[in-house]
Structure 1
């Protein structure tokens, strides 16, 4: 029998309410020891899923600890598929701590991180990918990342993986029958049929993998570095995107001497905007340190926004930065187009072929919408519709899919060489086992423990 577990389910600090959660066979019994309903003698007299008003009382001292609302939810239709009790008390550190201490004293034990969700998984209420989506839901930074996490919690990823594993199981069954009963009157599977099925599986896996880059950005954010020589409008761009005066803007070159970081959302995509010191040769010690830090952050950025001054010709400082951008995902902004234009777009195209170039005027707020749309297009890559929920946002899932792809490719090679069915069966089974690690069907206990150890207490 699993022990009854308890934990504080709300964040620490002052709030309107605090919640202490219990799960396990003795949840109602423990609650009955410490709770006195306003009407009636015992919580056991009330129906499941009914909110009940009353007081938490210390059974030893008979002192009232807090006025609360409690809910008893009977298994199996609960979050953990076990009996669950939630005690809603006044928010704050003291009330929840006191109630948790009473609960533990009356027979519950302290829940481990993520143990409520782990029990939901072990009791079959959700698969492993859905359980992992719970933490993604909690840590979502934007509406889009929330929608993706909720879609996975609802089973969008699980359904796609199950579709592939079902095909693999059917293929394995056909191979096994042909191996074990070669002399029986059964339809012989051909290498051509196997190749067609394996290629279809590979295609489905690749489709999921294509969403991994976008999924990572949606979940973790896009590290976007604004770079350029001094006084081209880097800080002005940051302020315009944030719609607030976050960075100091003056006509004096070299105003920004350190790194400024801010988060914002562009059409649901979380961006970590990094405004860097202007890259140039300088004798100023502080500015020189800032320039070196700019170069460090430049190398870590997922996306580089390079700003040039359209009202003057390219300088040596511009050209040195351009040399660094050849193999980087870059958007070039030709700023200050409200002034007479000196720099031709064609010159930048020759130096930075295949880079998106946008003419903007931060002063007149021109081109900013096109910049936002370009960032969105680059993230989604034109391959995935924004409304799709089945993005691969989890590094573990991506690594597992890559292993599955490699395994099915080995199977395809074996089929093309018309090797014995036993060899092909091994590759197909390995692919199935890798995919099963995503949903938890074939994952080991050590991996399960590692996954849930990253969860917060009370979830």
Structure 2
């Protein structure tokens, strides 16, 4: 366990009903006894804290001046979040109370916690593994019910359990290999290699299935980067407002109104979209608008999805065709907007587009359901049961799974090439090490620091 005691404000700064100040470490209880007095009692009468009970009273400064009226709880190690003694102080919301309480705490034998240090201590003290620790920040950053559910599954240890089972199986095989190497007179190479081949084939399949879920996991975690593209005044900003159900972008009949990219995050029927409205694509002499057009085209390169809008009330123009050339190779949903007006658009020469285009009237709220269905077709293969399916939503995990899979494929190649068992052992160990890094076995200090620096102070 860590020898020093840490403290931080655990709630988001600003106006709220309550704030929470958290203390963790060997000195937590001693600090609480020094700064807390029960209502209607003298300051010198130290309270005896009963674990897991709320105590009502005041936090005082070093001169016993009342800072705030609070509820305070004491949680005794090791049955706590950090496996250390923890004190949590519930004070009034706002900027001042929590700040003054924290200042009072730090006057004693205590220091300000670093980013994610409470969760880091939970990991270092063995309460959670690294996948569970990473799930904590993913839960905090969740933007949809689906991304939250995936992260909760990881926090419950479902990924860890599956990885640890594979690690244990590999360790058993490595033990057999060591016996064969140290005691060759028993000569069980053929039996051991047969076991290695069966296990490697089974694990490669399991890892491959997990890796395949990473694209879905990435979408639920980060959202589908969606660029709305089209020539000026075709209804890009109107479509964005339609999807967001609010007037986020300025909509006028004047071409060139949107001169920069506007980005918003929206959850439409469980599908997370990072929608980017862009400047209308056209040749222009306006310096500011020209920069907006360049930005729009750059966003296309980064996009997972392009929503290309045609104006059905206008004929096909050079700007439309230039955009079509630029988005070749991208996942595209083609939309024909303003279908409530006279149809002048002829795209019959683009047979695939003409066949798959979606008729939309933003003015009449028509076509959103078809857009969502098309997104489902493009990004989600089959039905996904988030409650039962294990989804990979962390790039670090994905890369290590790929590395472990490659090591096991090398094992199978070595077996097919009749390599000696000690060569096979090397690749098995590499696979096990890669899987161990996922759950935090033999992980470097630098990696631990990098992961927990993504947290906020207080968690």
Separation in 1 of the partners of 2:168 and 2:312?
58
Structure 2 residue aligned with 1:273: 275
| In structure 1, distance between residues paired with 2:284 and 2:65 | 71
Q: 5+ residue gaps in structure 2?
A: none
Residue 103 of structure 2, aligned match among 91, 101, 104: 101
DSSP-derived class of the 2:333 partner: strand
Seen in structure 2, the aligned counterparts of structure 1 residues 56 and 255 have a Cα distance that, compared at 3 Å, is: closer
Pairwise CA distance, 1:85: 0.6
Shift of 1:193: 4.1
Residue number in structure 2 paired with 1:430: 430
3-state SS of paired residue (2:21): strand
> Does the CA contact (< 8 Å) of 1:310 and 1:335 recur in 2?
yes
Deviation string, structure 1 residues 6-55 (Cα, Å, up to 9, x no partner): 111122223222221111122112211121123774332x4210000011
Partner Cα separation in structure 1 for residue 240 and residue 372 of structure 2: 12
Q: Per the alignment, do residues 216 and 89 of structure 1 end up closer, same or farther by CA in structure 2, a change over 3 Å counting?
A: same
Identify the residue that residue 134 of structure 2 maps to in structure 1.
132
For residues 284-307 of structure 1, what are the alpha-carbon distances to aligned partners after superposition, in whole Å with 9 as ceiling and x for unaligned?
A: 444333222211222221211111
Tell me the distance in 1 between the aligned counterparts of 2:195 and 2:413: 14
Shift of 1:156: 2.2
Does 1:43 pair with 2:47?
yes
d(CA) in 2 for partners of 1:110 and 1:356?
58
1:191: how far off? 4.2
Q: 1:98 to 1:332 in 2, by over 3 A?
A: same
Shift of 1:340: 4.7
CA contact (8 A) 2:149 2:386 kept: no
What is the alpha-carbon distance in structure 1 between the residues aligned to residue 393 and residue 4 of structure 2? 33
**Which residue in the other structure is 2:10 paired with?**
9
Of the three residues 52, 56, 59, the one matched with 1:53 is 56
Closer, same or farther: CA 134–356 of 1 in aligned 2, 3 Å? farther
Q: Tell me if structure 2 keeps the 8 A contact 1:178–1:189.
A: no
CA contact (8 A) 2:58 2:66 kept: yes
Segments of 4+ in structure 1 off by > 6 A?
A: none
Q: How many residues align?
A: 455
Return the alpha-carbon distance in structure 2 between the equivalents of residues 239 and 412 of structure 1.
Answer: 54
Q: How much does 1:371 deviate?
A: 0.6
The runs of 5 or more residues in structure 1 that have no matched partner are none
Separation (CA, whole Å) in 1 of partners of 2:390 and 2:436: 17
Cα distance 1:39–1:128, how it changes in 2: closer, same or farther (>3 A)? farther
CA distance in 1, matches of 2:379, 2:323: 23
**Is the 8 Å Cα contact of residues 316 and 346 (structure 2) preserved in structure 1?**
no
Give the stretch that moved more between structures: 189-198 or 381-390: 381-390
CA distance in 2, matches of 1:387, 1:143: 12
Structure 2 partner of 1:150: 152
Residue 91 (structure 1) shift:
2.0
CA contact (8 A) 2:116 2:457 kept: yes
SS of 1:162 mapped into structure 2: helix
1:457 correspondence with 2:427? no
- TM-score for both structures, normalised by structure 2: 0.91
Equivalent position SS for 1:282: coil
1:441 alignment counterpart = 441
CA distance in structure 2 between the partners assigned to 1:55 and 1:271 by the alignment:
46
Please give the alpha-carbon distance, in whole angstroms, between the structure 1 residues aligned to 2:345 and 2:139: 47
In the alignment, structure 1 residue 322 sits paired with structure 2 residue 312: no
How much has 1:356 moved relative to structure 2? Answer: 5.4
| Correspondence for 2:419 | 419
Residue 297 of structure 1: aligned partner? 299
* Contact map agreement 2:176 2:192 (CA 8 A) in 1: no
Distance 1:165 1:277 in 2: 52
1:30 aligns with 2:31: yes
The CA deviation at 1:181 is 2.8
Aligned to 2:265, the other structure's residue is in SS state: strand
The 1:343–1:171 alpha-carbon spacing in structure 2 relative to 1, beyond 3 Å, is farther
Query: In the alignment, which residue of structure 2 is the partner of 1:359?
Result: 359
Cα distance in 2, alignment partners of residues 388 and 342 from structure 1: 49
Give the Cα separation in 2 of the matches to 1:109 and 1:260.
Answer: 42
CA distance in 2, matches of 1:344, 1:418: 64
Q: Distance in 2 between matches of 1:328 and 1:115?
A: 42
RMSD of the TM alignment (CA)? 2.4
CA deviations on 1:255-296 (whole Å, 9 max, x unpaired) are 333322222112233322111122122334443332222112
Deviates more, 1:378-387 or 1:65-74: 378-387
TM-score by length of 1: 0.91
Q: Which residue of 1 aligns with 2:230?
A: 228
Conserved? CA contact 2:250–2:258, under 8 Å: yes
- Following superposition of structure 1 onto structure 2, how do residues 39-438 of structure 1 map, counting pairs within 5 Å? 41-44=45-48, 46-58=49-61, 60-184=62-186, 188-189=190-191, 191-341=193-343, 343=345, 347-350=349-352, 357-382=357-382, 384-388=384-388, 390-438=390-438
2-structure distance, mates of 1:365, 1:431: 53
Per the TM alignment, residue 238 of structure 1 is displaced from its structure 2 partner at its CA by 1.0
| Aligned counterparts of 2:414 and 2:357: Cα–Cα separation in 1 | 47
What is the rounded CA distance, in whole Å, between the counterparts of 2:347 and 2:164 in structure 1?
50
